[in-house]
Structures are given as structure tokens and as C-alpha cells.
Amino acid sequence: MTSAASTWGRAFSALSHRNFRLFFFGQLVSLVGSWMQSTALQWLVYNLTGSQTSLGLVTFANFLPVLLFSLFMGVLIDRFPRRRLLLFTQTWFMVLAVLLAALTWAGVIRFWHILVLSLLLGFGNALDMPGRQAFVVEMVDDDKDDLLNAISLNSTLFNLARIIGPGIGGVVVAALGEAPAFAINALTFLAIIVSLLLMHLPPPALEARAEAPLRNLKQGLAYLLRQHTILGLVTMVALFSMAGFGALTLLPVFAKDILHTGAQGFGNLMAAQGVGALAGALSLIFLGERWHKGRALLANRLFIGPALMSLALSRSPSVSMALMVVLGYTFTTQLVLTNTLIQTLVPDALRGRVMSAYTWALGGFYPVGSLAIGALGDHIGAPATAFLAGAVCAGLIALNLAAFPKMQRLR
């Protein structure tokens, strides 16, 4: 009983920090709205255009600024208070959601409107994604023992929202249309904004201000290139993001044209991925401290390729949902483990710049893969494209072992 109570207590140790607790519950509301909007937007794009390339273009526009600017955003994160930067990005996202809802409600929404709004959203993401990652340490009062727990809880929250949000989004779109989903998302940003305002934080050190911004950027890149293991962690995230995550751009096509399950079926596929991701995050919360992180990272990546190839061959909604559970589990665990290993290894003075490189790898290469996979899907079909993406992911395991052997030895 004592051992079980101790394990349960450790599983939620990060929530003992007031600032993290505020952020956790504020995000819970906001992220559900974001996943509602994501589901409704993908459905709206495919209905407007009927093109798989268009789905890839929206994702490309959304994450192109991450690819181009997130490395420099790391300099801003190390030079300015991170809470202030996050307040700006959350307000920015709320304004864009209001604009999207208004255009859709008025019946004047066009594909180019969505591309422009997605690009503007991407500029916010280029700052928000690495900013959130670097802010985690501040919210747990620099307690490295609670760092894995905080990152795992964040991932649990993200994936809990991924389960709830698409399911609600599919129902809202089917019953009321896309505009209400966008409007609800705009309101949910108030929760995270209020939680940030209520935090009590010490003045940040901001050592990077002593140097010129360009010199800050060079210092971060030089550190990354010197640290071969961290470089390997970032590189493999980039490659799996491009081939593995990029293939998920095709999900609306599978739901509508292959499985014939409509908007609700698309929401179910997204929710199934969220179930697997939640299971992965929970396994890290309760068992992560006992795992050999490097070996667990490799083991999870082994399943990505076969699961994608099986999804390409499936014509059963239930089988496809089961495979999405597997993909959700593997995607989440390998990302949380990578994030934790990087945050543990990097010095705090360089945290924003190194985490911006992680964001660049995760969010920057995703649109490149999405655009290529969407275009290829229009030429050879979604199943063949998804199968090819899975084969590439399977091949990346050999590169992982050959180029970065020390990564598997990280604890």
C-alpha cells in the first residue's frame, strides 16, 4: 500500500507546483478547443477543394514559419520573459480563431483565406512551441526531478484534448457546421491567458541579453553541433516528423473516400490516435522513471513504420482506429522521451535556443513532409503514399542505429 501510494504521488509530483497547476488546467480547456478547430478546418478544406494537395498546403502554411523562424525565436525566448511571450501568442491565436469563425459564418470563406490565416497562425507557433517547452522548467521551480513528470503530464493533457476535441469537433461540424467549432475555440483561449496572468514567478535571469541577438543564435547553433547526442535527438525527430507525422495529413481522405465514414469517422480516427497517445503519456507518468530512456526511445520508433503500412492496407474502420491507437502511443512516447532527454542535458542559459531547434525539427519538417505526401497522394493515391511513408520510417531505424549509437545508451 505504501509503495502504491508513493508511486501515485510521484506520478503527479509536478502538480505540487502552483504555477504548473495553473498552466495545466488552463491548457486543458484551451487545447480541447484547438483540436476542435483542427478537425473542423481539415474537414472544411477537403470539402472546399476535394484535393489532398490542399490539405498538405494548409499544413505547410501552418508550419512554414516554424521551419523558417523558430531557430531565431529561441533567441527571443532566452532574452525576454517567457510568460510575456506566451501571453502574446495566446492572444494572437484567439484573434485568428475569431477571424476564421467570422469568415466561415458569413459564408465567404475561401481556400486562400485559410492559407493566409494558417500562415499567420504559424508565425505564432514559431514562438509559442519552443516558448512552452522552455517555460516548463520555470513552472516546476527548476526542479529537474519533476521535469520528466511535468513533460509527461503536459503530453497527457495534450492527448486527452486530442481524444475529446476531435470527437466534439466531429459532432459540432456534423450538426452545426465548421463556424461554431472555430468560435468555441476562440473562447477557450481565455482559460490559458487567465492562468498565465495568475502565476507568481521570480524575475528571469535572461543572461542572453548581454550578447547581440545574432551572437546568441550562433552560440546556440555551435552548442548543438558540438553535442553529437543532442544533434542526433533533434535530427531523428526531424526525419520522423517529415515522414511519419506528415502521413497523417491523409486522414481526411481515408475517412471520406476509403473508409466512407464521413466527418464523424474522421473525428474518430483522430480520437483513436489521442487514446494511444494518452496511454503513452500515462505509461511515462507511472513508469517513466524506471525505463532506460534511450532503449525505450528506439523501441517505440520500431512500431511507426509497420503501423503506417498496415493503415495504408486497412479498409476496416475498426482496424484503422486500432492502428491509430498504436501510432498515437509511439508518436507520443518517442517525443516525450526526446524532449526530456534534451531538457535534462541542456544548460538553462541555452534552453530557449536548443528547444527552438527541437521545435524546428518537429514542427518545421512536418509541413515539408505534409506537402510532399499530399501532392504524392493526388498522383498515386492515399493508400500507396501512406505505405511508402511507413517504409521510409522503417528504414530510418537503420540510420538511427548507425549514425547516433550513443543515443540508445542515454538513461
- Does some domain include residue 304? yes
**CA-to-CA dists, residue 386 to 42, 52, 81, 264, angstroms:** 18, 12, 42, 21
112 or 401: which carries more pLDDT confidence? 112
Give me the number of domains the chain comprises.
Answer: 1
pLDDT (average), residues 229-234: 83
- Does some domain include residue 125? yes
Q: How confident is the model at residue 90 (pLDDT cuts 50, 70, 90)?
A: very high
For residue 302, the 8-state DSSP code is T
Burial of 397 (0-12, 13-18, 19+ CB in 10 A): middle
User: Does residue 108 surpass a pLDDT of 70?
Assistant: yes
- Does some domain include residue 263? yes
> In the chain, pLDDT over 90 holds for what percent of residues?
9
Contact 46, 54 (CB under 8 A): yes
Instruction: Supply the pLDDT for residue 1.
Output: 47
- Does some domain include residue 10? no
pLDDT (average), residues 60-70: 79
Instruction: Supply the pLDDT for residue 5.
Output: 47
Angle 52-79/111-139 helices, nearest 10 degrees? 40
Instruction: Supply the pLDDT for residue 2.
Output: 46
pLDDT (average), residues 380-385: 85
Give tens-digit pLDDT for 203-231: 665 554 555 667 777 777 777 777 778 88
- Does some domain include residue 203? no
- Does some domain include residue 385? yes
- What lies within 8 Å, CB to CB, of 138 at 6+ separation is 19, 82, 83, 201, 204
- According to DSSP H, which parts of 140-177 are helical? 147-176
Report the SS3 class of residue 199.
coil
Burial of 214 (0-12, 13-18, 19+ CB in 10 A): exposed
CATH assignment of the domain containing 116: 1.20.1250.20
CA distance 122 to 152: 25
Contact 185, 172 (CB under 8 A): no
CA distance 174 to 166: 12
408 or 223: which carries more pLDDT confidence? 223
Instruction: Supply the pLDDT for residue 4.
Output: 47
Instruction: Supply the pLDDT for residue 289.
Output: 63
- Does some domain include residue 221? yes
Contact 193, 87 (CB under 8 A): yes
Instruction: Supply the pLDDT for residue 39.
Output: 80
User: String of b and e for 341-355 (b: at least 16 CB within 10 Å)?
Assistant: bbbeebeebbbbbbb
CA distance 132 to 117: 22
- Does some domain include residue 154? yes
Instruction: Supply the pLDDT for residue 194.
Output: 92
C-beta atoms surrounding 126 within 10 Å: 29
Contact 56, 374 (CB under 8 A): yes
Q: Which domain holds residue 128?
A: 15-198+212-409
Instruction: Supply the pLDDT for residue 151.
Output: 74
Amino acid at 402: A
Instruction: Supply the pLDDT for residue 288.
Output: 58
